[in-house]
């Protein structure tokens, strides 16, 4: 025991005497009380706050809402421990105990906040570890020794010094700005979602434009916070312009095309479109491409520029009602009036066929071996597919024709063989 105390004394953690151990014990008790208070608050108030958060923010609460219990627990514990650390001039050993607990609580609070806004796991843990080390160092003697050590490890590039301290500062600045941008994006998305005067497309456009504006503001704020002179970028402006003109031409074109699509609302999320061989409903309009989900469950990512330059069939642009033509043939010796009434009956009994506009049955021609008809029905859910509607109506027609003696003909060909005449000299 004496050897341990002598070692701690040698590195400045405790001073000789029993008062230091008493204050260390008091610090342990206060730390335990702060942690217990945080645990109780998180267990009792966390679920209620999570439900309130989800009710207020809705889908934008994903991530943060599920972690509110842990956030409340660590936040209250960190607040109480900070009060304990500042309320008394603790000796080194007690300060180490309080500082360690405060660093852990604050680090876990930062970790849950960053994971709540869906930052990468490695980035969140790295920032939490740096916060823990900073608070612990501040508690036992200040940050100056650590910052001086980090700044000493580096190299000079021109008039600027690149050190571990500058890299750590850069990492912390990027993480904080990313977290702020994501939280601001969710707040803007929630505010736009609550705006009744805007439709879904206008809300999406507003969210995209706000996201771009927030990224630009965060970039310039980060440049200012890091003390980087913007004139240093003047040398690279020409090369950057050429890069956009050549390497990023398609990317910038797709970005502008996506904004134009959202502004003129020619294609909206939920529309049923056909582009080339792709047919399906629009899931979302992104910065680079439009997501189209087909009837087979495949998700096609179509670049925005293609939708601007190629012909696109929008089945639900101004009206979701779509007419589906269904060709039918009957034998020439069939009862025409009966066949037409049966075809109309089959169309009306199909589940997805609309009553208004009404279905129609039209004779379209006299074929080689059959009378040609077209049953025209209307549906209002083209995203549900067209082929299944045709199949359902044709199956009903086949059943009704079989029950009422209406024949569906098959192609027939008469082959006549003429006997060739034989010449007298043959």
Are 281 and 270 within 8 A, CB to CB? yes
Are 170 and 226 within 8 A, CB to CB? yes
7-11, 93-97, 207-211, 228-232: segment of lowest average pLDDT: 7-11
Mean pLDDT of 112-132: 77
Are 425 and 389 within 8 A, CB to CB? no
pLDDT-based confidence at residue 167 (cuts at 50, 70, 90) = confident
Q: For residue 303, what are its two tokens? A: 């670049």
The residue ranges of every structural domain in the chain are 9-142, 253-314, 322-404
Q: Does domain 253-314 have CATH number 3.40.47.10?
A: no
161-165, 282-286, 369-373, 403-407: segment of lowest average pLDDT: 161-165
Q: Which residue has the higher pLDDT, 276 or 150?
A: 276
From residue 12, alpha-carbon distances to 15, 95, 139, 362, 369 in Å are 7, 12, 13, 100, 107
Q: Which of 84, 182, 171 is nearest to 134 (CA)?
A: 171
Write down the mean pLDDT value for the chain: 76
3-class DSSP state for residue 162?
A: strand
Mean pLDDT of 189-194: 70
Quick one: fold of 322-404?
Alpha-Beta Plaits (3.30.70)
15-24, 41-50, 122-131: segment of lowest average pLDDT: 15-24
pLDDT-based confidence at residue 246 (cuts at 50, 70, 90) = low
Mean pLDDT of 200-226: 73
pLDDT-based confidence at residue 393 (cuts at 50, 70, 90) = very high
**Taking 80 as the threshold, does the pLDDT of residue 222 lie above it?**
no
**Taking 70 as the threshold, does the pLDDT of residue 172 lie above it?**
yes
Q: What is the pLDDT of residues 322-358, one digit of tens each?
A: 889 999 999 998 899 999 999 999 999 999 999 888 9
Mean pLDDT of 370-390: 88
Taking the alpha carbons of 163, 169, 175, 181 in that order, is the dihedral positive or negative?
A: negative
Taking the alpha carbons of 60, 215, 165, 162 in that order, is the dihedral positive or negative?
A: positive
Q: Which of 178, 160, 31 is nearest to 95 (CA)?
A: 31
Would residue 12 be called left, alpha or beta, if left means φ above 0 and alpha means ψ between -120 and 50 degrees? Answer: left
Q: Which residue has the higher pLDDT, 357 or 320?
A: 357
**Taking 50 as the threshold, does the pLDDT of residue 4 lie above it?**
no
Give the neighbor-by-neighbor strand order of the sheet with 322-330.
322-330, 371-379, 360-366
Give the strand pairing for 371-379 and 360-366: antiparallel
Q: Which residue has the higher pLDDT, 180 or 340?
A: 340
Mean pLDDT of 47-72: 65
Q: What is the pLDDT of residues 82-92, one digit of tens each?
A: 888 887 777 87
- Helix or strand holding residue 272 (H, E): strand 272-275
pLDDT-based confidence at residue 142 (cuts at 50, 70, 90) = low
Q: Which of 254, 306, 262, 315 is nearest to 284 (CA)?
A: 262
Distance separating alpha carbons of residues 249 and 243, to the nearest angstrom: 8
Q: What is the pLDDT of residues 275-288, one digit of tens each?
A: 877 888 888 877 77
pLDDT-based confidence at residue 239 (cuts at 50, 70, 90) = low
Mean pLDDT of 25-36: 86
Q: What is the pLDDT of residues 250-259, one digit of tens each?
A: 777 777 777 7
Instruction: Produce one character per residue of 92-131: b if its CB has 16 or more CB atoms within 10 Å, e if not.
Output: bbbbbbbbbbbbbbbbbbbbbbbbbbebeeebbebbbebb
């Amino acid at each position: 025991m004496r050897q341990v105390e002598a070692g701690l004394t040698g590195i400045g953690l405790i001073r000789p005497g029993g008062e230091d151990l008493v204050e260390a014990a008091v610090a342990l008790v206060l730390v335990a009380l702060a942690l217990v208070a945080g645990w109780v608050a998180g267990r009792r108030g966390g679920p209620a706050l999570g439900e309130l958060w989800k009710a207020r923010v809705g889908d934008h609460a994903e991530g943060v809402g599920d972690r509110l219990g842990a956030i409340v627990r660590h936040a209250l514990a960190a607040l109480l421990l900070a009060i304990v650390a500042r309320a008394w001039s603790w000796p080194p050993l007690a300060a180490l105990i309080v500082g360690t607990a405060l660093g852990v609580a604050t680090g876990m609070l930062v970790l849950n906040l960053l994971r709540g806004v869906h930052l990468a796991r490695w980035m969140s843990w790295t920032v939490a570890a740096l916060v823990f080390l900073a608070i612990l160092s501040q508690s036992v003697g200040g940050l100056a020794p650590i910052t001086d050590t980090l700044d000493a490890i580096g190299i000079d590039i021109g008039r600027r010094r690149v050190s571990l301290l500058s890299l750590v500062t850069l990492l912390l600045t990027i993480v904080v700005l990313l977290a702020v941008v994501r939280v601001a994006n969710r707040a803007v998305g929630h505010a736009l979602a609550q705006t009744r005067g805007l439709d879904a497309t206008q809300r999406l456009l507003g969210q995209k434009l706000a996201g771009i504006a927030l990224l630009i503001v965060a970039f310039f704020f980060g440049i200012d916070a890091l003390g980087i002179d913007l004139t240093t970028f003047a040398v690279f402006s020409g090369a950057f312009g050429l890069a956009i003109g050549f390497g990023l031409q398609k990317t910038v074109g797709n970005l502008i095309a996506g904004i134009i699509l959202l502004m003129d609302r020619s294609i909206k999320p939920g529309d049923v479109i056909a582009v080339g061989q792709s047919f399906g409903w629009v899931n979302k309009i992104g910065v680079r491409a439009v997501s189209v989900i087909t009837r087979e469950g495949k998700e096609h990512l179509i670049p925005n520029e293609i939708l601007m330059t190629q012909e696109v069939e929008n089945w639900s642009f101004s009206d979701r009602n779509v007419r589906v033509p269904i060709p039918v043939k009957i034998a020439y010796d069939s009862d025409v009036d009966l066949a037409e009434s049966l075809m109309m009956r089959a169309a009306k009994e199909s589940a997805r066929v609309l009553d208004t506009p009404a279905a129609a049955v039209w004779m379209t021609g006299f074929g080689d071996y059959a009378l040609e008809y077209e049953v025209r029905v209307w549906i209002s859910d083209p995203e549900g597919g067209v082929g299944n509607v045709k199949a359902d109506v044709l199956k009903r027609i086949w059943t009704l024709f079989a029950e009422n003696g209406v024949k569906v003909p098959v192609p027939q060909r008469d082959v006549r063989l003429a006997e060739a005449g034989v010449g007298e000299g043959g």
